[in-house]
């Protein structure tokens, strides 16, 4: 039998340090044991400067729920043409502390404070995004234009 995992500030600090040291400026801590598990639960540490390309999940079982644990982030929702449809600022203990993203909704996240961590839950198993799930109007990670597009998203929350 596994011992309970106590998630204290020191634990959150450790995954935040790993996110800071990561080239992508983010780090997951998975509670599920396999990418094939039917339920994915994880802590996601994100730092300012990370780029989460706009995307959607077309599987009707892939709604995503996110609950802020600490820090602050911006959520951006887009229509199918890439126009910004809605934004929200999420913060632990703030007026908006959680979101549920329905399948099919294009979205991206922007870290607004160092040390930001949120809890994420969604159905498994893990599947790479397919071409229809990637936003054709936004650069993908590693492509030209990422810095400019990320700056545009960050300005929404300035």
Q: What is the pLDDT of residue 2?
A: 83
Is residue 3 domain-resident?
no
Q: What is the pTM of this model?
A: 0.95
Q: Which backbone phi and psi does 121 adopt, to 5 degrees?
A: -135, 135
Taking only the tens place, the pLDDT of each residue in 88-140 is: 999 999 999 999 999 999 999 999 999 999 999 999 999 999 999 999 999 99
Which residues constitute the domain of residue 72? 9-155
Quick one: pLDDT band at residue 1, thresholds 50, 70, 90? confident
Residue 2 lies in a domain: no
pLDDT of residue 143: 95
Number of domains forming the structure of the chain: 1
List pLDDT tens digits, range 39-83. Answer: 999 999 999 999 999 999 999 999 999 999 999 999 999 999 999
Question: Domain of 134: which CATH number?
Answer: 2.60.120.10
1: in domain:
no
The answer to the question of residue 29 being in a domain is yes
pLDDT tens-digit map of 13-28: 999 999 999 999 999 9
């Amino acid at each position: 039998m596994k011992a309970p995992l106590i998630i204290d500030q020191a634990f959150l600090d450790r995954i935040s340090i790993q996110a800071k040291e990561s080239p992508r400026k983010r780090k997951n801590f998975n509670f599920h044991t396999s990418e094939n598990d039917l339920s994915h639960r994880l802590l996601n540490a994100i730092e300012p400067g990370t780029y989460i390309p706009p995307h959607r999940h077309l599987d009707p079982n892939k709604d995503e729920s996110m609950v802020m644990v600490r820090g602050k982030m911006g959520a951006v929702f887009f229509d199918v043409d890439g126009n910004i449809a809605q934004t929200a600022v999420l913060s632990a203990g703030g007026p908006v502390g959680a979101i549920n993203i329905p399948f099919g909704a294009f979205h991206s996240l922007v870290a607004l404070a160092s040390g930001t961590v949120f809890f994420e839950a969604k159905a498994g198993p893990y599947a790479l995004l397919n071409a229809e799930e990637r936003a054709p109007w936004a650069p993908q990670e590693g492509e030209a234009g990422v810095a400019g597009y990320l700056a545009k998203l960050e300005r929404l929350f300035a």
